[in-house]
């Protein structure tokens, strides 16, 4: 009994230490965002608690006062919400088809879709950008929606197909015997049961699209009318690296909405991660 308590206490101590180490960069960034720019450039963030303690919101004021920051926040919302909903809904339909519908070449097509997971994004930029230039989609919201949807679909289909495939077969057989169509089964049985997995996928997609910089730069460029927050924040630093201190505050401004989304869907996220790991 004593040995068990000692081992459990040691495990808790190690876990707490790992959590502190993992959170240390974020804590340092948060503390630095409330320090004067002069102090950030000359001393480490841990010295902020040494008297005389000086905290200020000047970096947040500077970040928020920059031209285009408000427009960029709206642009990020306008990019992220459709770019999250589109692939999740398409993936849900495709995952149900791959899991429970019989059609020729189903397994081959599923393997081909999953194989796209290993294709580097960088290999697709030039051919897709050339196609966008021909179609006039470069620098437009529909173009970035389609790009994010295409990049996110393989992982989304893989995750949802495994979840939907683990649902009891009796549910589907009973529904089919009662005369339900695939459309009825999908909307009345599959979707309600896959809410945890869908919520987890929404979190993943929202975080990825909201924090994306590379794809936005390639397909949207730096035009203020369509640029998301990541592009605007990256432009806060000049070509010689000056004024980098303001990035500490801008980073936390950009983090507020993703954190709100994560914590509001956290219970579904945990259920979605654990779903299917235990049967019974």
**Domain spans of the chain?**
23-56, 67-274
pTM of the model: 0.81
Q: Please give the pLDDT value at position 271.
A: 61
The candidate with the shortest Cα–Cα distance to 105, out of 117, 113, 115, 93, is: 113
Q: Please give the pLDDT value at position 279.
A: 45
Q: Along the 280 residues of the chain, how does pLDDT read in single tens digits?
A: 677 777 788 888 899 999 989 888 888 888 888 888 888 878 888 888 888 878 888 888 888 877 677 888 889 999 999 999 999 999 999 999 898 888 888 889 988 988 888 888 888 999 999 999 999 888 889 999 999 999 999 999 988 888 888 888 888 888 888 788 888 888 888 888 888 888 888 888 898 999 898 899 899 876 778 888 888 888 877 644 567 788 888 888 888 888 888 787 777 666 655 554 444 4
In angstroms, the CA 144 to CA 172 distance is 37
Which class in CATH covers the domain with range 67-274? mainly alpha
């Amino acid at each position: 009994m004593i040995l068990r308590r000692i081992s459990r206490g040691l495990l808790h101590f190690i876990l707490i230490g790992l959590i502190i180490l993992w959170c240390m960069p974020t804590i340092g960034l948060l503390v630095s965002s409330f320090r004067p720019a002069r102090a950030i450039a000359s001393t480490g963030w841990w010295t902020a608690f040494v008297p005389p303690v000086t905290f200020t919101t000047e970096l947040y004021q500077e970040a928020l006062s920059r031209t285009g920051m408000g427009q960029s926040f709206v642009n990020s919302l306008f990019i992220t919400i459709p770019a999250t909903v589109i692939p999740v809904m398409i993936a849900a339909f495709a995952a149900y088809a791959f899991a429970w519908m019989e059609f020729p070449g189903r397994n081959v097509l599923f393997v081909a879709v999953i194989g796209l997971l290993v294709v580097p994004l960088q290999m697709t930029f030039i051919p897709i950008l050339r196609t966008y230039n021909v179609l006039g989609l470069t620098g437009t919201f529909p173009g970035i929606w389609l790009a994010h949807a295409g990049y996110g679909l393989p992982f989304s289909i893989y995750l949802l197909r495994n979840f939907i495939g683990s649902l009891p077969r009796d549910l589907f057989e009973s529904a089919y015997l009662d005369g339900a169509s695939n459309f009825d089964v999908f909307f009345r049985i599959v979707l309600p049961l896959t809410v945890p997995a869908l919520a987890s996928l929404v979190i993943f997609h929202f975080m990825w699209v909201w924090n994306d910089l590379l794809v936005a730069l390639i397909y949207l460029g730096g035009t203020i009318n369509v640029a998301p927050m990541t592009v605007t924040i990256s432009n806060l630093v000049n070509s010689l690296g000056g004024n980098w201190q303001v990035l500490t505050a801008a980073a936390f401004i950009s983090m507020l909405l993703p954190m709100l989304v994560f914590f509001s869907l956290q219970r579904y996220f945990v259920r979605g991660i654990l779903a299917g790991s235990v049967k019974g």
